[in-house]
Amino acid sequence: MMNNGKTEGGRICEEFSARYYGVCTIGGMLSAGTSHLAITPLDVLKVNMQVHPLKYKSISTCFSTILREQGPSAFRRGWTGKFFGYACIMFVYLLTSTLSNLCLAVSVVMFSTFEFSVDFVYSNVIKRRKEECSRPQQLGVTCLAGYAAGSVGSIISNPADNIVASLCNRKADSLIMAVKKIGIVKLFTRSLPIRILLVGPVVTLQWLFYDSIKVLSGL
C-alpha cells in the first residue's frame, strides 16, 4: 500500500518494479564511475608497472619516477574515460546482464565471495541479522565484504590482466608469446600488490556507493 509516495516499510517503490530497477541502475552507474575515478592514480601506477617491469620494480619507485619525469598531471591521465566509460559499462550490464566469459567468471567469483563474506560477518562476528543492524553497521559489513571480494578477484584475474597489458602495449604479438615473455610465475605475481591495492578499494567503493543509495532510498 502506498502512503505519501512511499510503500510500506518506508520504501520509495515496490521491489522489482520499474522504479526499483531505475534506482538500482542509477546507483550502479554512480558507484562504478565514481569508484574508478577515485583510483585513477593507482591505475596509472599499475599499468606502468605491468608495461615497464624493469624500470618500475616497486610501487614507491614507480610513483616517484613518474612524478619526477611527468609531473602530478600524469596521475590524472584517463580519468574522463574511467568515469564515463565504467558508468556506461555498468549501465549496459545492468540492462542486459551480459559480459564476456572472463569478466563473467571473475564477476561470479567476486559476487560469491561478497555474499559469503556478508553472511560470515553477520553470522559469526556481529551475530545478528542484517535487519537488526543499524545503517552504519550494514554499510560497514558491505565495506569488509567488498574488499574481500576485490582482493579475491584481483588474484584470479591477475594473469589475464598482465597478458592484456602486454598485448595492448605491443610487448608481445600473441597470447602465447605474451605468456612466454612474462613467465608463468610472473603472470600471477607481477603487479599483484598494486592490483589488490587498486581493485580492493574499487570494489569496496562500488558496493558502498551502491548499497548507500539503496539504503537511503529505503530499498
The enclosing H or E element of 209 equals helix 192-216
| pLDDT tens-digit series, residues 83-122 | 565 555 555 555 444 444 556 677 788 888 988 999 999 9
Residues 184 and 187: their CA atoms lie apart, in Å, by 5
Give the per-residue pLDDT at 15. Answer: 64
C-alpha cell at position 60: 614507491
Give the per-residue pLDDT at 96. Answer: 47
Per cent of the chain over pLDDT 90 is 7
Choose among 97, 80, 77, 78: nearest CA to 28: 97
Global pTM? Answer: 0.57
Q: Higher-confidence residue: 43 or 217?
A: 43
Choose among 26, 42, 149, 39: nearest CA to 88: 26
Asked whether the beta carbons of 83 and 35 are under 8 A apart, the reply is no
C-alpha cell at position 124: 559469526
Of the pLDDT bands very low, low, confident and very high (cuts 50, 70, 90), residue 32 is low
C-alpha cell at position 156: 584470479
